[in-house]
Every structure is written in C-alpha cells, then in structure tokens.
Structure 1
Amino acid sequence: MTRSYTLVQLRYFCAVAELENMTAAAAALNVTQSTLSSAVAQLEQVMGTPLFTRLPRRGLRLTPAGRRLHERSLLLLEDADQLPGLVREEGPTLAGDLTVGVFGPLAPFRASLIFEEFEREHPGVNLSFLEGDQEFLRRALRDGKCELALMYDLGLGGELPRRVLRRIPPHVIVAPDHPLAATPEQPVSLRALADEPLILLDLPHSREYYLSLFKLLGAVPRIRHRASGYETVRAFVARGHGYSVLNQRLPHDLTYAGSPVVPLPVVEELPPIEVLLVRPAGTRPTLKSRAFEEICLRVYGVAPVVSID
C-alpha cells in the first residue's frame, strides 16, 4: 500500500530545509517546534530515509535524499498553489517564496532594480536575495538554499546550467592626481602598470581572475593592498594608494568617502567577466524562478529564451 504524506508536511519540511533550524522554521511558520519536528519525523518515515543530518550546535543539513525531496517538493507545492486558478480557468498567479543568490559585488548594481520589477509584476511572491561570494553561492545552489543565482563565470565548472546576461571587460581605476588621469579617454596598458602598487579585489576566484590577466601579459603585479570589498578597493585607489583593475563600473565615479576615482580603458585584449544566471544541476525550474529569469533578461537587455536548463 502506498504510504501517504500531506502538503502541509512538505511545506514544513521545505521551511526547515531552507532555514536549517527547527526553532527558526517554527517561528517563521507560527507553529510549535514539537509540531514541526513531528511533521518532519512522519515525512521521514513515509519516505523511508533520513532527510536531515543533525549537527550539534550547527543545526540541520539536508541529506542527499533530502535535497532530492526538496527540489521536487518546490515544484509540487507550486503546482498545488496553481490548482484553484486552473480550475477557474484563470491564468497562473505566482505566490510563495523565492530565494535568489547574488554575488556581493554584483548586488549594488542591478539587484534593487530587478527586485522592483519582479515585485511589481508578481506581488504575491516573497522575493529575497542571498548575498555572498562565488563559493558561498555555489554551495547554496548545491544545498538548495536558493533556486538560482546571479553570479560571475568564476570557479563554477561546467556542471551548472547558466545563461549569460552580460560580458564585462576589465578596466583600470586610478586616483585623480595620477598622470594617466589627465587623458581618461586614452586606453592604458595594464602591462605597463604592473610595476606600480596594485589594490587587489581579494575575493575567492575574483583574485585568480585579476592575477590571470597579468599572467596573460607576461607581467607580475606589485600588490600593495588586498581588500575583499569592492568599495574598499575604490576608496584606497581614490586616496592615491595605488591603481586597481575592476569590471563593474558605477554610473558615477565617487567613492563612499566622497573622493573620486578615474576609470580608464585597457588597450590589451583581455578576457571579460561574464554575468550569469545560474541554476542547480539536474533540477526543473519553478514558475517563480522562470519569472525571475524573464525579468533578468529584460533588465540586462538579453533576448529571451525558453529556458536556461
């Protein structure tokens, strides 16, 4: 006889999977922790396998079976939410939660605009962003903490489905009193700058990309400072501590401290960074994540496609 489970149990399970903590999930669902624990235990009994690994003082982690159930549960719950509208022959009305990962240096540029567009078109969806570095987001996709992520093409490997949103070439920034700042429209040689002090954006995979640019040119940069914050790098450059190489460029050249930097194009042909929309491998996108994809394509000015999976 087929063992049964309920949609409520699946919803409770998904909340625990996303928050990795029974107490936090119970508070989010407004139920008691004992109710939640019982629902998860019953679901594990129905599935015939543990869904979580209990880690002392570190909360819960999905087992491989739990990850597979989480992926399928999101689709099943979404279909269930669409059922009343389908019965009434109405178009789909998206509802529920959608978590999207976003690479930290990308977040200030497009995340708020994408959020506004998505919220206006799909007010029933609670969209939240999970911000972190490339490695953090790669793990979040693997562990089911986000359905898709806005990332760079750095350190991903070939197993994750992705859609290219933009290709951004590297550029140099210098302080206003730097000799090269007098002619900002004139391309500069990155190879010629290698002997000057470099302020390196020191994030996992980002630093390897920037150092690889010098290696391609047969040069070794003289690193003066390493900083993990995009704006910290710009602030050090603005104060005259050195130059830097970046990709994303703000619509203005002021730093948080109010001092400007001067962006300069690079004369050498160097590989750009690709801005990607990335999904977990082997999953079928939900309607909510497809709607987010459409907004991203529109914001980045990319011709729409049926799917990125």
Structure 2
Amino acid sequence: MAKPFTLVQLRYFSAVAAAESMTAASRELNVTQSALSAAVSQLEKDLDVQLFIRGRQRGMQLTAAGRQFAKDLAPFLEEADALYEAARGYSDALTGELRVGVFAPLAPFRAPVILQAFETAHPGVQLSFLEGDQEYLRRSLLEGECELALMYGLGLDEGFTTKVVERISAHVIVAEDHPLAASPDGEVSLAQFEDEPLILLDLPHTREYFMSLFAAAGVRPKIRHRASGYETVRSFVARGHGYSVLNQRLHHDQTYAGGRVVPLRLTDDLPGIEVMLVRPAGVRPTRRALAFEAVCGRLYGAGS
C-alpha cells in the first residue's frame, strides 16, 4: 500500500526540524509559513504522530517521536538526492552539510587535518565540527545535533555503533627541570610519582580513565589541581606545579605559559585509549558520513 505523505512534506519537515522555527525554515526554503505549516500538519495527520511541540516562546520543538523521525529521515532524503543526481549523471559528487562532533582535547590534533583532507576529496560538502567533552558529544549524537563523532570510547553504551580509528598509549609529562626528565631511555613508572602532586585532566569519563590507570598500577595519586583544558594541564606542569598523565602528544614541548614539558614513556602495562568514530545505533549513515569515515581511515587507519 502506497504511503500518503510526499517527498515535499518530508523535506519541509526536515527544514523545520533543523531550524526549530517555522519562520527560519520558510526563509531557507523560500516558501510561505502557511505552506510549511500545512505540510507539517498534514504529515503528522498522515503518520498519526505528533512531531512537534508548538509554542510562542520556544518555537517548534521536536517531540521524542519527531526527533527519531528526523534521524531516520536524513539518509532517506540523501538517497533521494542521490537518485536525482544519478539520473543526471552526477552520482559520484557528494553535496550538502555534515556536522561531526569532536572530543575537545582531540580537536586541535585531528580536526584541521581531517577538514583539509575531507574538503579536498569532497569539495561539495560543507563540513563543520561540534566540539565538547565525552558526555556532551554522547548527548548530541542521541539528540541529532551531529551525525557522528570523533571521540574516545569512554562512557558509551549499547546505543551506539563504533569504529576504532586509532589507539594511543598514555604517557607522563613533567617540567624540564624535574629530576626524572632525564630518565634513561625516557621511561618511567607511575610508582615513581606516587608522592608527587598530580595535575588531572578533569573531564567527564576522561578522569575515570586516568584513575583506572593508577588503580591498575597499584598507585594512589595525590591530585593537586584539576583542569578541563589540555593546554592548562600542560602549562601547570611546565611551571612545576606537578606532573600529569595524558594520551595525545604534541609535536612540540612548548606551553602557553612559556615553559616546556618533557614527555616520558610509561613502563607499566596499561591499556591505551581508543579514538573512535561513533554513531547512534540503528540509524542508517548518510553517504557523507561514510565518506568522512573513509577519510579518517586513510589518515589514521587503525582498523576496527
């Protein structure tokens, strides 16, 4: 049996859902608000589902059903565009927008490189990044704020599908005048720092990961300062306020505070951290998202 809704209705709904405003969507589509309102209302009637909560102050808010419908609809609309492009002989050219979440400490290391490679491969796609901590990205994926995210495999549950991009070992950083900065072969163990102050990178799920490393090594750290910024941690260390344990390693040892840090390899048998591409489970990825995954695979390619 043929479904009663039309492709136009679906596109109108998608625009209103993205803008959360009938006025903004009408400007984007260059159609009247009355036409948009009528199309969305008819779609809700045909589906027998309320997709929006309408309010004067808060605009058009998606219901839970509306949010899920918007997620499921995105790849369908892309396939419709691909069908049109294929008929015209342009099926290999990707267009449209792609928003990708990225874990804040990863952003300076990964986002500029990926952006350059992606724009070279797919100039017709407008790629943008949503930066935040692990918990923020997890919520953003579930709420449809971004289609996929480059993040650590921390704090995730069965509601997500993941693909490992890279595995990174933890290391210690100390100030350049620290007694252990000149350790043989640049190697140390966590036990050597048990009595020293720790500068902790304090982000949701990240802090638990670092604490698990100390637990695995049988060490009780003395946390002196907590910081949510990667460069703040490095600067505290460079100024002699303590040591820290991190994963991402810069190509230089200078800090914003002007001092230098010295990275040291850990001899402890500790688990590294996995950098992953994460998507909500059960949501079919768009061709743009798959293209982004392919670019990351070419750049880092740890395998799944």
TM-score, length basis structure 1: 0.89
Change (3 A) 1:48 1:193: same
Structural mapping, 1:109-124, within 5 Å: 109-124=109-124
Correspondence for 2:136: 136
Change (3 A) 1:35 1:207: farther
Structure 1: unaligned runs, 5 residues or longer: none
Correspondence for 1:295: 295
TM-score, length basis structure 2: 0.90
Structural mapping, 1:247-262, within 5 Å: 247-262=247-262
Q: Does 1:237 align with 2:224?
A: no
- How far the C-alpha of 1:59 sits from its partner, in A, is 5.5
Change (3 A) 1:56 1:258: farther
- Distance in 2 (alpha carbons) for counterparts of 1:202 and 1:126: 32
Whether the 8 Å CA contact 1:169–1:271 is kept in 2: the answer is yes
- How far the C-alpha of 1:35 sits from its partner, in A, is 5.2
Aligned length: 304
- How far the C-alpha of 1:260 sits from its partner, in A, is 1.4
Q: Counterpart of 1:171 in structure 2: which amino acid?
A: H
Whether the 8 Å CA contact 1:18–1:144 is kept in 2: the answer is no
Structural mapping, 1:1-309, within 5 Å: 4-22=4-22, 25-26=25-26, 29=29, 36-53=36-53, 60-183=60-183, 185-302=185-302
Whether the 8 Å CA contact 2:167–2:302 is kept in 1: the answer is no
Q: Counterpart of 2:273 in structure 1: which amino acid?
A: I
- How far the C-alpha of 1:101 sits from its partner, in A, is 0.9
Worse-matched range after superposition: 7-16 or 247-256: 7-16
SS state at 2:185 partner: coil
Structure 2: unaligned runs, 5 residues or longer: none
Q: Counterpart of 1:134 in structure 2: which amino acid?
A: Q
Identity %: 61
SS state at 1:105 partner: coil
- Distance in 1 (alpha carbons) for counterparts of 2:58 and 2:138: 20
SS state at 1:265 partner: strand
SS state at 1:204 partner: coil
Q: Counterpart of 1:236 in structure 2: which amino acid?
A: F
Worse-matched range after superposition: 166-175 or 70-79: 70-79
Whether the 8 Å CA contact 1:101–1:146 is kept in 2: the answer is yes
- How far the C-alpha of 1:57 sits from its partner, in A, is 5.7
Q: Counterpart of 1:176 in structure 2: which amino acid?
A: E
